[in-house]
Structure 1
Amino acid sequence: MKKHFSLAFLSLLAISLHANIRLPNILGSNMVLQQKSTTKLWGWAAPDEKIKITTSWNNKTIETSADGNANWKTDIETPQAGGPYTITLQGQNKIILNNILIGEVWVCSGQSNMERNYYTGIRSIKEEFEQLSKLNIRLFNMPKITSKTPQDDCSGSWTTCDSNVVKAFSAVAYYFGKALNKDLDVPIGLIASSWGGTPAEVWTPENLVENNALLKEAAQKNAPTPWWPVNAGFTYNAMIYPIVNYNIAGAIWYQGESNRDTPSSYTELMNTMITAWRKAWNKDFPFYYVQIAPYKYNKHNVAALVREAQTRSLATEKTGMVVISDLVNDTLDIHPTNKKDVGLRLANLALGETYGLKKDSYKSPLLKSFKVNGSDVVVDFDYAETGLIIKGKMPKEIFIAGADKIFYPALVKIKGNTIIVSSKEVKIPVAVRYQFSNTGIGNIFGRTGLPVAPFRTDNWNVDTSKIK
C-alpha cells in the first residue's frame, strides 16, 4: 500500500508541477516586440488550463486556454514603439515579464563573418563600449545547437546592451542595430543565430533540400567536419524554427563561403531558404544579405561564381545585397575585420527599402545591360543615377574578350551611368568581366561612394580547377 500511495503521490506532484505556465526562452523579460503588429505569445500549461494575459501598454486582459496537448498560443496587439512595459500571465502560477520594449526586431544569421565578434578578432568594437548605455538595443544570442527534427524551444535569453554582452555578439549585427536605433529612434531587438563554417543547406528545411534534385546533389558534396554541421535542416530545426512564432521586421544574412564548391546551386538554395523562412513566419519580410568578400581560395574563380549566384538572388522579391569588395585589406584573411561598414551598409538597405528613409546612395551600381558598339562595349548600370567614377588613374580588374575568349585588361571611359570598355587587343569585342575572380578588388564606384558590383556579360564555362 505504501508503494501504491507513493506512486500516486508522485503522479499528482508531477501533474501539479507541469500545470504551471511555461514560456519559450525567446519570450522573456528585456525582449523587444515588433511594433504596431499582431504578435504571438505561446507556451505550455496543463491541458485546458485557463490563462489570463495583461499587457501594461493598454492594461487590457485577454484569456486563452491550453489545448489537450498542453500547448497554448494567442495573439496580442502591440502599439507604436515605446516602453518599458510589462506582460503578466496568470494561470495556476504567475509570470511577470519586465522591461519589455516595443520596436523593430531583426534576425541576424549566417556563418563566421556574421558570427565574428570582439573575442574572435573584431577588437575595434571596444570603441563602442562607452556609448552602449545610450543605445536602446536588446540582444538575444542563440547558442549553437542542432537537431534532426524541428524544436519548439531554444536556449538563450534577452539581455540589455552592455560591453560584456556585446563582446560575444555579432559585430555586423550590432553595427546594423545601432544604425537603425539612431536613424529610426525606436528600440531595436536583434536575434543573432549564426554558426561559422556552415553551408546554407543546414539553415534550410531538410525536406526542401532532399526533394530538389539540384539541391540534394550539391548537399551531398558537403563533407563532414568536426567543427560545424553539414546536414540539411539541422540548424534550421534548432536555431530558426524555435523562433518562427516571434514576429520580426526582417532578416540579415552573411554566408556563402562554405558553398563555394557548388555555386551552380547557390541561387536556388538561397531562394529556397528565404521562401521557407517566410513561409514559417507567415510573413513576406525583407531579407538583406552580404556578398562574400575577395579571398584567395584553393580553386580558380569559385568565389566569383558564388557572388554571381548571390546577385541573381536579387530576383527574389524584397531582397537586397551589399557589396563589400572595397572593405578588404587582406585577401589571405577570410574574415575581413571591417564589420562596421558592413553593418552600416545593411542598415542603409533597411532604412531605404523597408523604412523609406533614404532616397538613394544605399545600393551598389548593378549591371543593367550592355551592347557592342564597334570596338567598344557599352555597359549600363542601375543605381548609378548620379554617375560613376574610377578611384585612381587606371581601372582595375576589368577585362574584355572577343570570340576567342581570351581576356585582356580593358580601358574604361565613363559617361554618366555607363562605362565604355575597349582594348587595342580586341577589335571585335564579345564580353566584359569586372572583378570576376576570387581575389579581385576593383576601383569603379558610384559617385555616392558604393562599389560597382562584380559582373560578367558572358555565360562561358569558367575554370574552377584547383590552383597549383
Structure 2
Amino acid sequence: MKKIILYSLFTLLALYAPAQKRIKVACVGNSITYGYTLPERETQAYPSQLQQMLGDTYQVGNFGKSGATLLNKGHRPYMQQEEYRQAMEFAGDIVVIHLGINDTDPRDWPHYQDEFIRDYLALIDSFRTVRPGCKIIIAKLTPIADRHPRFESGTRDWHGEIQQAIETVARVADVQLMDFEQPLYPYPFLLPDAIHPNPEGAKILAQTVYSAITGDYGGLQMPITYTNGMVLQRDRPLLIKGKANAHSKIKVKIAGQKKTTETNSQGCWQVTLAPLAAGGPHTLSITDGKTSLLYKDVLAGEVWLCSGQSNMEFMLKATTTAAEDVPAATDDQLRLFDMKGRWLTYAVEWPVSVLDSLNHLQYYKHAQWENATPETARDFSAIAFYFGKMLRDSLQVPVGLICNAVGGSPTEAWIERSTLEYRFPAILKQWTGNDFIQDWVRGRAALNIKKSSYKEQRHPYEPCYLYEAGIRPLESFPIKGVIWYQGESNAHNFTTHEKLFHLLVDSWRKNWNDKQLPFYYVQLSSIDRPSWPWFRDSQRRMMNTIPATGMAVSSDLGDSLDVHPRNKKPIGDRLGRWALNRTYNHTQVVPSGPMFRNVEFRNGAAYLTFDYGEGLHSADGQPLHTFEVAEIDGLFEPAVAEVEGNHLKVYNKNIKNPRYVRYGWQPFTRANLVNETGLPASTFRTE
C-alpha cells in the first residue's frame, strides 16, 4: 500500500512540474541559412536539419533572409529586415551567425568594407543585449565556386578579405568561430549554382553547427597514414596532429616521450615531439581519455612521397629486372604505403555506381603500412621501390614510401584549389572543353564518366581532384621530400606546364609548411611525339627557377612506341642520387649526368660547359652525335662535337657564325653524351 501511495505522489509531481526549458538556437543569416534553392526548404535548410540532430531539448529558429548583407550600408542590411526583429524577439540562448556572402557584391564591399567589423560587432552586441550571457557562434563564409560569374572580377578576392575580417571579429568580440568553408570547399558539386548548398551541403553545415554547439566531432581520429608499421620522419621536431571532441585532453606517448594537449573548439589538436633517432620498433599511443589508439611496430627513418602518373605507378613486377628483383625484395626496414585507385582510368565507361563515390573523393582504396616483401613490392611502384632501396643501402636507416600515383593524371589535378583559383583560374573553367588541358586527358575522362547525367560530375583528371583526394587526406604527414614522375599528360603545351609545375611545387610546400621541401622529378624519356624535345628542355630549365629541385634524365631509356619504358631501376637510382647528394649531403655521389651550363661562340665554333661535366665521353664508344648548330636564322644543321678537357667544342664548317646549339633535339633520341659516372646528359637547346 505504501508503494502505491508513493508512486501516485511521484506521478502527480511529474504531471504538475514545469516542463524543462528548451535551449533556443537562433540561426541568423542570408539565403544559405534560409534554404534558398532547396527542393524542400522547410525540412532541408540547415537549421531544420540541425533541429533533427539536436533533438527535443533544443528549439532551433531559422531567421535567414535572402540577399541580406552584414553591412548596414549594404544593399539589403540584415539589421533592417523583419527576420532580424524576429530573431531579437526569439532571444536565443545560442546565436549562430552566417553573414557576409552578399557583401561580396560590387555595390557593397568596395565602398563600405571599412565598416564591416564595426557593423558585425554591433550585431553581436544587439543579441547580447536581449539575452545577456548568450553564446555567440559566428561562421566563416561558405565557399563561392569559381563558376560564379563575378568570381575573378571581385568576388574571389573580396570573399577572402571578408573571411579575414570575420576572424578578427571573433577575436575582438571573444565569440566562438566555426568554419563553413572547409567542409564544403573540396566538393564543388554541393554548390550547384556556385553559392547555395544542395540538401547534402546543407546537412554538412548542420553537422558543423551541431559540433560547434555540442563539441562532438566524432571522437578521436587520426589521418589515414597512421597505422601499425608506419615510419615517422627522424631527426627533426615531429608534428603529430588529429581530431577529437572539443576540449578533450590528449596524451601522446612514444619512445619515452609524453606530450599532453587539449583540443580547441573545432576539435583540432597537435603536439610536437622531440626528434626521434632512426630505429625502433616503437609503440605510439594516443588517447583522449575515452578512446585509446595504439600503433605498433613504428619505426623512425626517412619518409618520401612518390607521386605522378603511370610511369611512377608502373609496378615492379612489370620491369625488365623483375625476375631477380621481386624475389629479393624482403626488407622489414623498408615500409610501403600504397594508395591505389579503386578504378583504373582505362578506355572504359565506369558503372553508374562509381560516380557518386568519385564526387565524394572516394577514389583511393584503403591503404596501410606494410613491410617490403615479394608479395607487397611486386605491385608497388618500381621507381619508388628502387629509390627507397638505394636510400636503405646508402643510409642504413628505415625508409618509408607513400605512393599515390595515378595513370594518365595531368599536373593540374594535383594542385590545391585555392592556388589555381588565385594564380591560374582559367584552367578551372569548363575543364572538359578547355584547351589548357590535353585532348587525350579530356577524352579519357569523358569516356570514364559517360554514364553520368550530373553537370558537375568529377573525375580524377579534373583540376584539383587528386590534391583533394590524395594529398589533403595525408594531413601533412611529416615527410622528408617528394619524388615525381609526370608530364606525359601535359606535354602538348610546355608553357602551360611550366606555370603549373611551379604552382604544384608551391602548393605542396605550403601544405607541408616547408619552403625547401626537396622535389626531385624525372625528365620525360624518348618517344616519337613531336612536342617532347621542347617539353624536356622546359623541365631542365625549371631546375634553375625552382629551388631544392633536381631532375633525373631518362631519355636514354625511352622506347619509340611505348610511353612506359620497362627499365625502371636506373630511374629510381638516379632520383636516389639527387636525394643522397642534395638532401643527405653525400657529396661523393654525383647527382646527375652533364647539365648544360653556358656557351661561348668564337672562331666559328661553340664551346659548351656543363655542370657535372667531368669526364665527358660517349656512352657507346662512338663519336658524339645529335649535336646541331644554327646561325641567327635558327636553321639547324648537324654538327661535330669534340671533347676538350671538361667542355665540348661544337661546330659545322659550313656555319660560319653559330649562335645556337641544340643536343638530342629529336622526340626519340639516341643522344650519347655521358660523364665519368656514365650518367647521360640532358637534351637541351641554348637560349
Fold in common (TM above 0.5): yes
| 1:131 maps to amino acid | A
More strand by share: 1
Q: Distance in 2 between matches of 1:66 and 1:295?
A: 54
How far 1:149 sits from its partner (Å)?
A: 9.1
How many residues align? The count is 443
Secondary structure of the structure 2 residue equivalent to 1:211: helix
Q: Distance in 2 between matches of 1:319 and 1:11?
A: 59
- The 3 A distance-change label for structure 1 pair 441 and 135 is farther
User: How much is the aligned-residue C-alpha RMSD, in angstroms?
Assistant: 2.9
1:464 paired residue number? none
Hey, what does 2:418 align to over in structure 1? 207
**In the alignment, which of 92, 95, 99 is matched to residue 290 of structure 2?**
92
Of the three residues 267, 274, 284, the one matched with 2:498 is 267
1:238: how far off? 1.2
Find the partner of 2:613 among 384, 387, 392.
Answer: 384
2: CA distance, partners of 1:213 / 1:44: 32
Equivalent position to 1:416, from 632, 637, 645: 645
1:61-460 equivalence runs, <5 A: 61-90=258-287, 91-118=289-316, 121-122=318-319, 124-144=321-341, 155-213=366-424, 216=427, 220-221=434-435, 222=437, 223=439, 224=442, 225-226=444-445, 229-283=460-514, 284-297=516-529, 300=530, 302-315=531-544, 316-328=546-558, 330-389=559-618, 391-458=620-687
CA distance in 1, matches of 2:581, 2:475: 25
CA distance in 1, matches of 2:272, 2:411: 32
Judged with a 3 Å threshold, the aligned counterparts in structure 2 of structure 1 residues 262 and 19 are, in CA distance, closer, same or farther, namely closer
Report SS of the residue matched to 2:377. helix
Which amino acid in 1 is paired with 2:549? T
Which residue identity lines up with residue 129 of structure 1 in the other structure?
A: V
- Alpha-carbon distance change, 10 to 36 in structure 1, aligned in 2, over 3 angstroms: farther
Instruction: Report Cα offsets for 1:400-438 as digits up to 9, x if no partner.
Output: 222343222111111122111112332322221101121
Q: Deviations over 1:165-222 (max 9, x none)?
A: 1122110000000110111000000000111111101111233224335973997322
Gaps of 5+ in 2: 1-51, 58-210, 343-356, 449-458
Identity among equivalent positions (%) equals 31
Computing the radius of gyration over CA atoms, which structure comes out larger, 1 or 2?
A: 2
Q: Which has the higher contact order (CA 8 A, sep 6+)?
A: 1
| d(CA) in 2 for partners of 1:391, 1:154 | 45
Quick one: which of 215, 235, 248 aligns to 1:49?
248
TM-score, normalised with respect to structure 2: 0.60
Contact in 2 for aligned 1:52/1:61 (Cα 8 Å): yes
The DSSP-based 3-state class of the residue aligned with 2:327 is helix
> Does the CA contact (< 8 Å) of 2:215 and 2:267 recur in 1?
no
Please say if residues 316 and 385 of structure 2, whose CA atoms lie closer than 8 Å, have aligned partners that are also in contact. Answer: no
Amino acid at match of 1:78: P
Cα deviation, residue 147, structure 1: 7.2
Q: Secondary structure at the match of 1:377?
A: strand
Secondary structure of the 1:40 match is strand
Code of the aligned partner of 1:182: D
Structure 1 CA distance for aligned equivalents of residues 263 and 55 of structure 2: 23
Structure 1 length as normaliser, TM-score?
Answer: 0.87
State the alpha-carbon separation in 2 of the partners of residues 243 and 214 from structure 1.
25
Q: Name whichever structure is richer in helix by fraction.
A: 2
Q: Secondary structure at the match of 1:396?
A: coil
SS of residue matched to 1:452: coil
| Structure 1: 5+ residue stretches without partners | 1-6, 459-468
